[in-house]
């Protein structure tokens, strides 16, 4: 499951999965934007994928579920 972190908070570390592949969100209406999941941060997020999710991305998948969010987000 992908994670959301902004460019300032950077790559999520110390977690069960290794998130090494950042991607930008596609710009939908503002009500669908995802914000950083780091405690106390309110910046717009980049979407970080695991190696397995990155393989899916390379194969053309663009919609990913994000931890602690309802629904999916589309990335560039």
The mean per-residue pLDDT over the stretch 11-25 comes to 82
Mean pLDDT of the chain: 82
Question: Smallest Cα–Cα separation from 3: which of 42, 40, 59, 53?
Answer: 53
**Is 29 a residue whose pLDDT tops 70?**
no
Question: Could you give the percent of the chain with pLDDT greater than 90?
Answer: 24
As a whole number of angstroms, the distance between CA 46 and CA 7 comes to 7
Sheet holding 3-5, edge to edge: 3-5, 46-49, 21-23
**31-65 pLDDT per residue, tens:** 677 888 888 998 988 999 999 999 999 999 988 88
CA-CA-CA-CA torsion sign (59, 65, 66, 71)? positive
CA-CA-CA-CA torsion sign (61, 59, 49, 35)? negative
Residue spans per domain, the chain: 3-74
**Is 23 a residue whose pLDDT tops 80?**
yes
């Amino acid at each position: 499951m992908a994670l959301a972190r902004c460019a300032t908070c950077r790559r999520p570390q110390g977690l069960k999965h290794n998130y090494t592949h950042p991607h930008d969100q596609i710009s939908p209406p503002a009500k669908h934007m995802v914000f950083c999941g780091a405690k106390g941060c309110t910046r717009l997020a980049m979407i970080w994928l695991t190696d397995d999710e990155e393989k899916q991305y390379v194969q053309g998948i663009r919609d990913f579920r994000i931890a602690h969010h309802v629904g999916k987000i589309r990335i560039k």
